[in-house]
A and B are shown apart, each in its own frame.
Chain A
Amino acid sequence: MAHSDGIGTRRDNSLGGAGLRAGVAGNAGRDASVPEGATGRQLLDVSNLSTRFQTPHGVVTAVDGVSFSLAAGGSLGIVGESGSGKSQTLFSIMGLLPFNAEIQGSVRFEGRELIDLAPVALNKLRGERLAMVFQDPMTALNPYLTVERQLSEVLQYHRGLSRRQARAEALLALQRVHMPESARQLDRYPHQLSGGMRQRVVIAMAMIGSPALLLADEPTTALDVTIQADILDLLAEQREAGTAIVLVTHDLGVVARLCDRVMVMYAGRVVEEGWTREVFSHPRDPYTVGLLAAIPRLDDDLCNPRKPIDGQPPDLLALPEGCAFAPRCFCVREICRRKSPKLLEHDRDGAVACYRENPEALPS
C-alpha cells in the first residue's frame, strides 16, 4: 500500500528547533519537531503495519496497512469506533499480540526495528523507553501487590535497585503523578484505591523509567468524567515534559485537548490523518464528518437531535470489496464499492483516503 510516504516529515515551522526543548515552549513548542532534514529519524516510524488474527471463523485483518510517524515529544490521537483496529495498532507496536496474530510491516522505534526484535531486547525497551497505560486501572494492577511493589517491580526489571532505593523511587514516581498522600499509598493494595488513584498508579508505573514514548489505550474510558479531566491533565503534563504520546480513544474531545495530530481509523485502515485542529474544523473524509457530527453539543436543538452515522461498523470477517465505509457513506460513488481508495496527502499537511477528496486517484 502506498500509504503516506511523507507523513513523517513534520517540521515545526514557526519555532524552528525550539520544540526539542519540549515543555518550555508552550503550546506550539510541543508540536512534533524533528532535527533538520531527518525524515527517517523519527522517534516512532510505523509503516505498512498489518496485523491479522487466525480465528476459527477465518482470518481477521485488525490492522490493515497502517503507516504513521511521530517525532520526539509529539502527540498523536488515534480515533475510531470499536473494532477499528486502534487498540490493536498499539498492541502491535508493543509486541503484545496473542499467539494467533500475524504481523507484517515495520515499526521503527528510536531507529530500531521492533517487529521480530528478540524478546530480551524487547523487554529491555518496554517499560524503559516505551511504556503503556491501560484502559482499565481496575484490572491493570495486580491485586496481590502493594502500590510500592507494583512500582518497584518495574524498577527491578530494569535497574536492579535495592528494596530501599526502589521504595524511594516509587515514592517519587507517585509524587510526580500528584498522588494524594503518596507516602501512605505505598503500602496500600489496589482495591483500597479509587479508580482515579489507580490510574495514577498505572501512569506512575509507565513513567517510572522516563520513557521516550507513552502509548495510552483509552486511559480515561473507565473513569468518571471529573477524574477523566485530572488524568488528561496528568498526561498533558507528561507530554510537556517531553514524552511523546500515542493516545487511542473514541472520545474526540480527549484528542482535541491532548493531541497535536489525529489519525482516524475505520475497519483497520487509516481514513484521515492531519493536524488535530485542521481535521476537526475541516474534516475531509465522510467518516470523520460523520464522527464529528455525532458529538452532542451544549447548543444542540433538543427537538432536532444529532444523528449518529447510519448502519453498523463492518464485520471484519466479511469486509466489502471496495471502501469499507461505502455501505454507510452519504456520498458513496459507484467506484467506492469496487476499489478501496488510497490514503493520499493533501496540501494542508494531512492525508485522506476518499475518492471525493482525491478525484485524481479515480481510475481513468
Chain B
Amino acid sequence: MTRDTSWRRLARNPMAMGGVVVLTLIVLLALFGSGLSVHAIDDVFWDRISAPPDVEAGFYFGTDANGRDLFVRTVLGARVSLLVGLAASLISLVIGVAYGAVAGFWGGHVDSVMMRIVDILYSLPFVFFVILLTVYVGRSLSTIFITIGAVIWLDMARIVRGQTLALKQREFVEAARAFGATNRRILVSHIIPNLLGPVIISMLLVIPDAILTESFLSFLGLGVQEPNTSWGVLIGEGAQSMTEAPWMLLFPGAFLAVTLLAFNFFGDGLRDALDPKE
C-alpha cells in the first residue's frame, strides 16, 4: 500500500525520472558504447596526439596525449567509475546504517566502543592503509573496492548514529515500547524509516567521493591499470593538459558531472517520495 504510493510519487516527479533516464543511458553507454566507436581502447594513432575532436575520423571526443581515442576511453572508463560509486554507496548503506543505528540505539558502552573503532579507522592515514592492503591483497580492482569500502561507511555510521540518538528520545519510540515492541522491532519499524532522509543524502554524497578516491588510487598505481581507465584517471590526465587540450578534461568531466547530477535528482526524488509529508 504505502510502497505503491511511494513509487507512484516517484514516477510523477519529472526531475527524478529525468535522473533515472540519464542514468540508464549512461549505464547502457558504459555496457555497449564501445560498439559505437571504430577504435579500440588501446589503439594508438601516432599522427593524432592530443588531437581535437574529429567526428568524420571517428574521434568524437578527440584523442589523449598518447594518441588514443577519448570517446572509447570515456565510455569504458564509466564501467569502473560507476561500479566504484555504486559499491561505495551500497557499502555505506548497509554497513554504515546498521553500524550507526546499533551504536546509537544501544548507547552507553556499546556506543562508546563502536564509535571509538570508527574514530580509529578515521584517524588511520589513508595512504598507509592502502599500502598495507596492497601488501596483503595485492594490486587489483578488488583492492580498490576493499580500500574504499573500508573507509567510506564511516561518515554514514556517524550521521546515522547521531540521528538515532535523537530519534530514540522521540515519544513514538517510547510509545512503541509501551505497546510491547522489542528493541529489534523498534529499530526496524520506527528508527530506520525515520532515517531515510539523511541516509539517502549521504549515500549520494559518497558517490563522487568514491569516484575521486578511485582516481587517486589509480594514480598511485593501485587501481585500474593501463590500458584500462576510469573517469577519475581521465580527469586527472585531462587536468594536466587543460590549457592546450581542454577536451581531454571537458568530456570525462562532463560525464562525471552529469552522472552525479542525475544521481542527485534521483536521490532527492526518492527521498521526497518516501517522505509521507511531501
Answer yes or no: do A and B interact.
Answer: yes
Query: Which residues of A line the B interface, CB within 8 A?
Result: 94, 96, 99, 119, 123-128, 131-132, 134-136, 139-146, 148-149, 153-154, 157-158, 187, 189, 191, 202, 205-206
Contact B277 A134 (CB under 8 A): no
Q: Determine the distance from Cα of A187 to Cα of B2 in the docked complex, in whole angstroms.
A: 8
Q: B178 at interface (Cβ–Cβ under 8 A)?
A: yes
Contact A94 B178 (CB under 8 A): yes
Interface residues of B in 187-222 (CB under 8 A from A): 189-190, 193-194, 196
Q: Pick the contact of B180 from A99, A126, A134, A142 — CB < 8 Å? A: A126
Say what secondary structure dominates the interface of chain B. Answer: helix
The stretch among B7-15, B74-82, B167-175, B252-260 that forms the contact with chain A is B167-175
Residue of A nearest to B2 (CB): A146
Contact B170 A139 (CB under 8 A): yes
Contact A153 B189 (CB under 8 A): yes
Contact B1 A143 (CB under 8 A): no
Residue of B nearest to A187 (CB): B1
Q: Determine the distance from Cα of A127 to Cα of B107 in the docked complex, in whole angstroms.
A: 25
Contact B178 A126 (CB under 8 A): yes
Residue of B nearest to A136 (CB): B171
Contacts A143-B276, A143-B277, A146-B2 known; A205 to B179 CB distance under 8 Å?
Answer: yes
Residue of A nearest to B1 (CB): A187
Contact A143 B194 (CB under 8 A): yes
Q: Determine the distance from Cα of A143 to Cα of B2 in the docked complex, in whole angstroms.
A: 13
Q: B116 at interface (Cβ–Cβ under 8 A)?
A: no
Q: Determine the distance from Cα of A276 to Cα of B185 in the docked complex, in whole angstroms.
A: 40
- Provide the residues of chain A in CB contact with B28, threshold 8 Å: none
Contact A153 B193 (CB under 8 A): no
Q: B176 at interface (Cβ–Cβ under 8 A)?
A: yes
Task: Give me 20 other A-B pairs in contact (C-beta within 8 A), A136-B171, A144-B193 excluded.
Answer: A96-B174, A119-B182, A132-B178, A134-B171, A134-B174, A139-B170, A140-B172, A140-B175, A141-B175, A143-B172, A149-B2, A153-B181, A157-B179, A157-B181, A157-B185, A158-B180, A187-B1, A189-B276, A191-B277, A205-B175
Query: Which residues of B line the A interface, CB within 8 A?
Result: 1-2, 107-108, 170-172, 174-182, 185, 189-190, 193-194, 196, 275-277
- Provide the residues of chain A in CB contact with B189, threshold 8 Å: 142, 145, 153
Contact B1 A134 (CB under 8 A): no
Measured CB to CB, the closest approach of chain B to A196, in angstroms, equals 17
Contact A126 B177 (CB under 8 A): yes
Residue of B nearest to A124 (CB): B180
Measured CB to CB, the closest approach of chain A to B277, in angstroms, equals 5
Q: Determine the distance from Cα of A128 to Cα of B181 in the docked complex, in whole angstroms.
A: 11
Q: Determine the distance from Cα of A142 to Cα of B167 in the docked complex, in whole angstroms.
A: 10
Measured CB to CB, the closest approach of chain A to B2, in angstroms, equals 6
Residue of A nearest to B195 (CB): A144
Q: Determine the distance from Cα of A158 to Cα of B175 in the docked complex, in whole angstroms.
A: 15
- Provide the residues of chain B in CB contact with A135, threshold 8 Å: 171
- Provide the residues of chain A in CB contact with B175, threshold 8 Å: 132, 134, 140-141, 202, 205
- Provide the residues of chain A in CB contact with B275, threshold 8 Å: 144
Q: Determine the distance from Cα of A125 to Cα of B185 in the docked complex, in whole angstroms.
A: 16
Contact A127 B180 (CB under 8 A): yes
Contacts A134-B171, A149-B2 known; A157 to B277 CB distance under 8 Å?
Answer: no
Give 19 CB contacts A-B under 8 Å. A96-B174, A96-B177, A123-B181, A126-B178, A126-B180, A127-B180, A128-B180, A131-B179, A134-B174, A136-B171, A142-B193, A143-B172, A144-B196, A145-B189, A145-B193, A149-B2, A153-B181, A154-B180, A187-B1
Contacts A127-B180, A145-B193, A154-B180 known; A189 to B277 CB distance under 8 Å?
Answer: yes
Q: Determine the distance from Cα of A148 to Cα of B1 in the docked complex, in whole angstroms.
A: 10
Contact A157 B276 (CB under 8 A): no
Contacts A148-B1, A187-B1, A191-B277 known; A141 to B172 CB distance under 8 Å?
Answer: yes
Q: Determine the distance from Cα of A191 to Cα of B170 in the docked complex, in whole angstroms.
A: 16
Q: Pick the contact of B1 from A126, A146, A154, A158 — CB < 8 Å? A: A146
Residue of B nearest to A99 (CB): B108
- Provide the residues of chain B in CB contact with A127, threshold 8 Å: 178-181
Q: Determine the distance from Cα of A134 to Cα of B171 in the docked complex, in whole angstroms.
A: 8
- Provide the residues of chain B in CB contact with A206, threshold 8 Å: 179
Contact A140 B193 (CB under 8 A): no
Q: Determine the distance from Cα of A102 to Cα of B212 in the docked complex, in whole angstroms.
A: 52
- Provide the residues of chain B in CB contact with A125, threshold 8 Å: 180
Among the interface residues A127, A136, A144, A146, which one has the most CB atoms of the partner chain B within 10 A? Answer: A144
Residue of B nearest to A188 (CB): B276
Measured CB to CB, the closest approach of chain B to A148, in angstroms, equals 7
Contact A144 B276 (CB under 8 A): yes
- Provide the residues of chain A in CB contact with B172, threshold 8 Å: 139-143
Residue of B nearest to A94 (CB): B178
Contact A123 B190 (CB under 8 A): no
Contacts A136-B171, A145-B193, A189-B276 known; A96 to B178 CB distance under 8 Å?
Answer: yes
Q: Determine the distance from Cα of A99 to Cα of B107 in the docked complex, in whole angstroms.
A: 10
Measured CB to CB, the closest approach of chain A to B19, in angstroms, equals 23
Measured CB to CB, the closest approach of chain A to B104, in angstroms, equals 14
Among the interface residues A123, A148, A149, A191, which one has the most CB atoms of the partner chain B within 10 A? Answer: A123
Residue of A nearest to B190 (CB): A142
Measured CB to CB, the closest approach of chain B to A211, in angstroms, equals 10
Q: Pick the contact of B194 from A119, A142, A154 — CB < 8 Å? A: A142
Measured CB to CB, the closest approach of chain A to B8, in angstroms, equals 13
Q: Determine the distance from Cα of A135 to Cα of B170 in the docked complex, in whole angstroms.
A: 13
Contact A154 B179 (CB under 8 A): yes
Q: Determine the distance from Cα of A142 to Cα of B276 in the docked complex, in whole angstroms.
A: 11
Q: Determine the distance from Cα of A139 to Cα of B190 in the docked complex, in whole angstroms.
A: 13
Measured CB to CB, the closest approach of chain B to A138, in angstroms, equals 9
- Provide the residues of chain A in CB contact with B1, threshold 8 Å: 146, 148, 187
Q: Determine the distance from Cα of A136 to Cα of B172 in the docked complex, in whole angstroms.
A: 10
- Provide the residues of chain B in CB contact with A126, threshold 8 Å: 177-180
Contact A144 B194 (CB under 8 A): yes
Q: Determine the distance from Cα of A154 to Cα of B175 in the docked complex, in whole angstroms.
A: 10
